[in-house]
């Protein structure tokens, strides 16, 4: 994920549960999707609900981040130049800017005009560059002994295959190869064709599972980027794929996805529900942490349910947000992940939903700056809450219904924007 953008594989709650029927995901057209907008849906931003009540300056700061990319497009260049001249504290001037420069288009999915809004965040862990009694848990980089090979699904049932080494960490199928691969030994993963393993003589074996790694199986085979205090927080760092570690001297170390051990994700929330340990309504991130606090002797058992393990790399940069799919830093509370087939990356989006576990309105102008494999359809969004414990609590609980309006430069049609 170059730094690969901060793409979200799953919203946090869905990653924890992965249960059929947990949410109402809008349907997605099977072929070329339409924008989910009609000409009758256009309006001035000033007509949007609660428009005059917004802290619009924060929305402008997010647009300026988008403009790092959008300014190269003719339809956006003048808008981006003007956005750079405005004082974000002057709410009236910023509001007039959006009213004068943009048209708002109501997003729809067929006859529906509201869909599922979830949340994600960037974890903050306490750690050190040195192992100690306080920080005994390693944040591993990609192991040196892990190798990958692409095995098309059509060849998975053909018995033992042969391969040869083509470079560091890479194998390729070859009839005369000297490495034996039995696909039946490897976990089934319908997401892709790449297998991850380790060489044992002339055989490729599956790579180590989470439980084996936590027992020290790759000590000495993988670099350690940092050491952290809490294995549960490390687990949720892996669920998110990116985060920060605050070191002894107060500085921050940014880490992001580098590789994965080849096992499909297994939901620990689903496992707890299936075992009768908690109800579906309790299976949030905080609910799982509460269960672990009451059952510390079962921590290793629970975490090992998810055999998938994420390896990290250190990311460059300052203390800004993680990099989204647009290639710009995300802004906590003002960036969303969207389906780019319906919502162009970089565009402002007016979001009208409610706070997690509440009927209190949450209405603000955000910016489409990220994507995710579970974010599908015109009425689907994942709100980035920022980093740290409070952001994680909001993200883990957010499963709200909401409506969205796409803001485009005046004169630009939605179909021309995609």
User: Distance between CA atoms of 382 and 330, rounded to whole angstroms?
Assistant: 12
The CATH code of domain 146-206 reads 2.40.50.270
CA distance 140 to 228: 11
- What residues of the chain score a pLDDT lower than 50? 1-4, 18-33
Contact status, residue 221 vs residue 145, Cβ threshold 8 Å: yes
CA-nearest of 81, 30, 116, 62 to 375 is 116
Q: What is the pLDDT of residue 37?
A: 74
pLDDT tens, 237-273?
998 888 999 999 999 999 988 999 999 889 999 999 9
**Where are any strands of DSSP class E within 62-200?**
102-106, 115-122, 124-128, 137-140, 147-150, 161-167, 170-173, 179-181, 194-200
Residues of the chain with CATH 2.40.40.10: 42-121+320-416
In 3D, which of 123, 122, 125, 58 has the Cα closest to residue 323? 122
Helices (DSSP H) in 241-330: which residue ranges?
268-274, 285-294, 299-303
Residues 124 and 393 sit within 8 Å (Cβ to Cβ): no
What is the CATH code of the structural domain delimited by 42-121+320-416? 2.40.40.10
Q: What is the pLDDT of residue 2?
A: 33
pTM: 0.75
The structure tokens listed for 211 are 């439980």
**Other beta carbons within 10 Å of 18:** 16
The CATH fold assigned to 124-142+223-314 is Ribosomal Protein L25; Chain P (2.40.240)
pLDDT at 10: 57
pLDDT digits (tens, 9 = 90+) for 141-184: 999 999 999 998 888 888 899 999 999 999 999 999 999 999 99
Say what the pLDDT of residue 271 is: 96
Task: Answer yes or no: are the C-beta atoms of 8 and 326 closer than 8 Å.
Answer: no
Please give the structure tokens belonging to residue 270.
């689903």
Q: How confident is the model at residue 29, as a pLDDT?
A: 34
Where does CATH 2.40.240.50 sit in the chain? 124-142+223-314
**CA separation, residue 288 to residues 70, 191, 282, 301 (Å):** 40, 26, 8, 13
Given a contact cutoff of 8 angstroms between Cβ atoms, the answer to whether 181 and 188 are in contact is no
**What is residue 135's DSSP assignment?**
-
């Amino acid at each position: 994920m170059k730094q690969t953008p901060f793409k979200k594989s799953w919203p946090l709650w869905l990653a924890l549960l992965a249960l059929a029927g947990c949410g109402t995901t809008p349907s997605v057209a099977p072929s070329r999707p339409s924008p989910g907008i009609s000409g009758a849906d256009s309006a001035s931003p000033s007509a949007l609900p609660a428009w005059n009540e917004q802290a619009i300056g924060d929305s402008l700061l997010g647009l300026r981040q988008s403009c790092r990319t959008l300014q190269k497009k003719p339809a956006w260049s003048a808008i981006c130049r003007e956005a750079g001249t405005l004082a974000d504290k002057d709410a009236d001037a910023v509001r007039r800017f959006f009213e004068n420069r943009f048209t708002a288009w109501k997003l729809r999915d067929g006859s529906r005009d509201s869909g599922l809004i979830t949340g994600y965040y960037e974890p903050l862990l306490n750690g050190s560059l040195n192992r100690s009694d306080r920080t005994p848990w390693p944040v591993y980089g990609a192991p040196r002994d892990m190798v990958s090979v692409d095995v098309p699904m059509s060849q998975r049932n053909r018995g033992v295959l042969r391969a040869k080494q083509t470079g560091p960490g890479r194998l390729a199928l070859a009839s005369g190869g000297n490495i034996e691969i039995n696909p039946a030994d490897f976990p089934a993963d319908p997401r892709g064709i790449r297998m991850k393993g380790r060489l044992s003589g002339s055989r490729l074996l599956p790579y180590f599972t989470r439980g084996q790694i936590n027992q020290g199986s790759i000590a000495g085979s993988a670099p350690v980027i940092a050491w952290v205090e809490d294995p549960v927080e490390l687990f949720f760092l892996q669920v998110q794929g990116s985060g920060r570690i605050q070191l002894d001297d107060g500085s921050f170390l940014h880490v992001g996805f580098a590789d994965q051990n080849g096992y499909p994700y297994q939901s620990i929330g689903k496992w707890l529900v299936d075992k009768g340990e908690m109800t579906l309504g309790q299976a949030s991130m905080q609910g799982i942490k509460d269960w672990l606090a009451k059952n510390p002797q079962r921590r290793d058992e629970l975490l090992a349910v998810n055999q998938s393990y994420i390896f990290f790399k250190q990311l460059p940069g300052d203390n800004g947000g993680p990099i989204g799919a647009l290639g710009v830093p995300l802004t906590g509370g003002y960036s969303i992940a969207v389906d780019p087939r319906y919502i162009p990356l970089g565009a402002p989006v007016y979001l009208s939903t409610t706070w997690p576990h509440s009927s209190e309105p949450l209405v603000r102008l955000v910016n489409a700056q990220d994507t995710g494999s579970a974010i599908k359809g015109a009425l689907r969004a994942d709100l980035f809450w920022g980093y740290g414990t409070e952001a994680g609590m909001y993200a883990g609980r957010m499963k709200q219904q909401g409506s969205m309006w796409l803001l485009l430069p005046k004169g630009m049609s939605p179909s021309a924007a995609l």
